[in-house]
Structure formats: C-alpha cells, structure tokens
Amino acid sequence: MGKYVEMVRIRFLMMLAYRTNYYTGILIYAINIAAYYFLWSAIYGGKSSMQGMSLGQMTTYVAISWLARAFYFNNLDREIAMEIRDGKVAIELIRPYSYLGMKAVQGLGEGLFRLFFLSLPGLFFVSLFLPLQFPGHAKTWLAFGLSLLFSFIIFSELNLLAGVVTFFTFRNEGLLRAKRFIIDLFSGLILPLSFYPDWAQQLMAYMPFQAISYIPSMIITESFQGAAVSDGLFTQAAWCVLLLFPIALLWRVAKKRLVVQGG
C-alpha cells in the first residue's frame, strides 16, 4: 500500500515542477466558461428554465463539469499503448507491483494536482464575475465529493480497459480517439443528458458514461433532489465494480499473449 501512496506523491511533485503553465490555464479556462455562459444565455433567450434547470444552474453545471474533468481526466490509455509499443511494458511487468494499479494511482496523483492548482483556483476566479450557484448544504457537497471520486474511478477503469486492448491490437489510435468522443458526448460534459431526446436518454442510462460527468454535475447544481442523489451514487458505485470484471479478464489473457518487439 505504501508504495502506491508514494507513487501518488511522486506524480504530484512531478506536476508541481510545471506549475507555471497552470496560471495561463486558469485564464483560458475562465474565457472558456464565460463564453459558454453567454452562449447558454442566448439559448435560454429569456426563458426562466429549460428541462427543469435555470440559467444559473446551467452555468454552474458547465463550470463544474469542466473543472471536474480536470480532476478525473488522465491519459492512461495512451500511456499504456505507448509503453507497449516501446517495449517498456516488459520492465514494468517484472517490477513488484500491480502494473494497472500503479497506472491508476499515477492518474490519481495528476488528478489531485490539477484539483488543487487548476480546478479550485479556477472556480474561485470564475465565481468572481459569473453568477454561479453553490449549494448551502454540507450534505450536497459531501455527496458531490463522493460522486467525483467515483467519476475518477470509472474514467480510469475505461482508460485501463482501452489500454489493455492494445495488448491484442498493437495499434489502436482510432479506438482511443473514438472512445474520447463517445465520452465527450455521452458523459454529459458538453450538455446535460436531460436535453437529449427521450430515446437517446434511455439508451444512455444503460451506459457507464453518464456516471463520469452528468451525475456529479447534477448533484452539485441540486438538479438531483432526494432519492435521485442516492440513486445516482448507487449507479456510479455499481459501474465501478462492474467494470473491474472485463479488466481483470482481459488482463489475465493479455499477460500471457504479450509479445515485446525489441525494446
């Protein structure tokens, strides 16, 4: 356990070396969210609510979705694919730790860094000039925190899954790109899933992607109330567990099939 915690710390410190980048990052993030705000104002066009969300809730939804993304996002799939191509994975496999577990905690280290150096200052900065609505209840914040942690786990699990597939295909640039767009579209990052037509919503309810962005953002904007909050958290927890099975299965086969070309 200790070595995994140490890895989180190392990744955090590695990112800290490049922190100046993030000041510009905050500014660009702010321009982004401000432009989004005006776009949504135009879409609302004076209506007080759309699909049960007010403009204030929508602005908060968008701002939080992008900041949450800074926390849960990582490139584990690409890193694994790269290590397989370079042959570095052979060295990784003989080291005394779980390869996938180590990848996941590296992602956590990066995520924690961006949470403290990009998300939180960014949110503070944006809230100075945009009408964001934050919930007053400590319970909502707690539920949001838990939900965000689940987001990270599910996003990383999907990345590990895509990464492990590379063991079989060697080149899967296309698959990785496709996964990225599916997540952008179906996770509720670019717009709340409640805006999609009914048939699309029903389809998305059976997929893990909504658990990445839609659920935490709906919780923090208080668009989910009462039972909807606990249902959402339960859905996320279920996907966290469910996704472990295909990973474990593919990983067992992949380790046996691994061919290292040079290196």
Partner 1 sequence: MFYVSVFFQYMAQYMKTKLQYRTDLLIEWLSDLMAQAVNLVFLLVVFGHTTLLHGWSRDEILFIYGFFLVPYAVFGAFFNLWDFNERYIVQGEMDRVLTRPLNSLFQIVLERMELESLLGAVPGLIIMLYAGSRLSLSFHWYDVFVFILFVIGGALIYAGIFISLATISFFADARTSIMPMMYNISSYGRYPIDIYHRVIRYILTWVLPFAFVGVYPAAYFLDKKEWYSYAFFTPVVGMVCFTVSVMLWNAGVRRYRGTGS
CA torsion, ordered 180, 182, 188, 190, to nearest 10 deg: 70
List C-alpha distances in Å: 251 to 75, 167, 241, 243: 18, 9, 16, 13
Number of Cβ within 10 Å of residue 251's Cβ equals 17
CB 193 to partner 1: min, Å: 10
Q: If binding is defined by CB under 8 A, does position 48 make contact with partner 1? A: no
CB 10 to partner 1: min, Å: 17
Which of the residues 163 through 182 are near partner 1 (CB under 8 A)? 171, 173-175, 177-178, 181-182
Which of the residues 189 through 228 are near partner 1 (CB under 8 A)? 190-191, 195-197
Contacts 24+ apart (CB under 8 A), 86-94: 86/263, 87/260, 87/261, 87/262, 87/263, 88/263, 89/258, 89/260, 90/258, 90/260, 90/263, 93/255, 93/258
Q: If binding is defined by CB under 8 A, does position 28 make contact with partner 1? A: yes
Where do we find the tokens 């924690």?
112
DSSP state of 1: -
CB 42 to partner 1: min, Å: 4
When binding is defined by CB under 8 A, the residue of 24, 138, 199, 206 that contacts partner 1 is: 24
When binding is defined by CB under 8 A, the residue of 51, 98, 202, 230 that contacts partner 1 is: 51
Q: If binding is defined by CB under 8 A, does position 22 make contact with partner 1? A: yes
Chain residues binding partner 1 by CB under 8 A are 18, 20-22, 24-25, 28-29, 31-32, 34-35, 38-39, 41-45, 47, 50-51, 171, 173-175, 177-178, 181-182, 184-185, 190-191, 195-197
